[in-house]
Amino acid sequence: MTQTAGRFRFDLTATDGKARTGAISTPRGTIRTPAFMPVGTAATVKGMLPESVAATGADILLGNTYHLMLRPTAERIDRLGGLHRFMNWDKPILTDSGGFQVMSLAALRKLTEEGVTFKSHIDGSRHHLSPERSMEIQRLLGSDIVMCFDECPALPATDAEVAKSMRLSMRWAQRSRDAFGDRPGHALFGIQQGGVTQELRAESAEALCAIGFDGYAVGGLAVGEGQEAMFGVLDYAPDMLPQDKPRYLMGVGKPDDIVGAVKRGIDMMDCVLPSRSGRTGQAFTRHGVVNIKNARHQDDPRPLDEACGCPACRGYSRAYLHHVFRAGEMISGMLLTWHNLHYYQELMQGMRDAIAAGRFAAFEADFHAQRAEGDIPPL
């Protein structure tokens, strides 16, 4: 092994406007950027075998600390060889810190300077999360990219509330950095907060850069502020973060959110949308969203998208996909999830190629023009 093998590294290979393409190297493999990370909440991307997720083109998955600490617990996963072994996924894994989901899912939360105590939404049992405990859990899971423990205020919030929460998160970022220690091959990302206020975003970025991280997330967006407000923040927030480190937009999003974020300098994203929508009968295509439950598909022998190479489009008609959805068959969610993840990964590959070729603006124009055409007319 050379001295640099096994290190975490980010190399930008091309930029086009603010859009960037490159690669994150980890001991578990390379992550091509801009990257979309499917979400494997409970140590599975629902309805997909890990090798199928990899076949869609995903280089990395996201796991949720909050869910895994409650069930089956980080200690149990550690005893069973870590999260990669446990879920049979040997490529990189990013885990969130648990902070956001404690705030959105857990009951009876008590927030102090030290951390958060809460009751599990599963069985009401009492738990505690702090920067130190979150770092310990993510280490037990064996996560390749670890996120700082942070706090995100519930919306609507005043500027004063957003500022207070952001400053607490910055103190927790320092504690996360101290607790993470030196772990070659593993990365720790800081999370910028500050809501939709430019001054607070700048203060947060300055605090994070002073601590120093392997990558930086733009947090506190995609929480109901709307696309216009989110793009408003993304017009300046990524520029406040170091050029030579990956930038991760958490919890985003719909295909047009993703294209707009990449245009503004984002390198990584995650979202439950392609898998969740697959289970509720919604397919993302070049021409927009197709609701497979709609009766217009019941006699249609054509695939969801004739240009798509996924198993759902190669082997099955809209009529079949409509039927299995209506019949409540498991294969419905499996096929639509596979198609959606394939569509998302093709979108990312298209953007990576366009940025490398210096034609991102043309790619974006085509993307919007195809959506404007709408779904193919019914037979």
Write 110-113 long-range contacts (CB < 8 A, 24+).
Answer: 111/151, 113/168, 113/171
Q: How far is the CB of 314 from Zn ion (least distance, A)?
A: 8
Is 353 tagged catalytic? Answer: no
- Which of these is catalytic: 16, 59, 96, 375? 96
Q: Please tell me what DSSP assigns to residue 218.
A: E
Residue whose entry in the numeric block shows the structure tokens 């772990």: 183
Q: How far is the CB of 122 from Zn ion (least distance, A)?
A: 34
Q: How far is the CB of 344 from Zn ion (least distance, A)?
A: 11
Closer Cβ to Zn ion, 218 or 347, answer by number: 347
Strands in the chain per DSSP E: 9-16, 19-26, 29-33, 35-38, 61-63, 93-95, 107-111, 116-119, 126-129, 145-147, 187-192, 215-218, 247-249, 268-271, 282-285, 288-291
Closer Cβ to Zn ion, 321 or 355, answer by number: 321
Q: How far is the CB of 38 from Zn ion (least distance, A)?
A: 15
Is 16 tagged catalytic? Answer: no
| Residues in contact with Zn ion by the rule CB under 5 A | 308, 310, 312-313, 339
Q: Distance between CA 258 and CA 344 in Å, rounded?
A: 9
Is residue 195 reached through a cis peptide bond, with omega within 30 degrees of 0 on the bond before it? no
Closer Cβ to Zn ion, 310 or 347, answer by number: 310
Q: Are 70 and 42 in contact (CB under 8 A)?
A: no
Closer Cβ to Zn ion, 313 or 354, answer by number: 313
- Which of these is catalytic: 144, 150, 270, 375? 270
Q: Are 190 and 241 in contact (CB under 8 A)?
A: no
Closer Cβ to Zn ion, 126 or 314, answer by number: 314
Choose among 240, 253, 247: nearest CA to 266: 247
Q: How far is the CB of 346 from Zn ion (least distance, A)?
A: 9
Please identify every residue annotated as catalytic.
96, 270
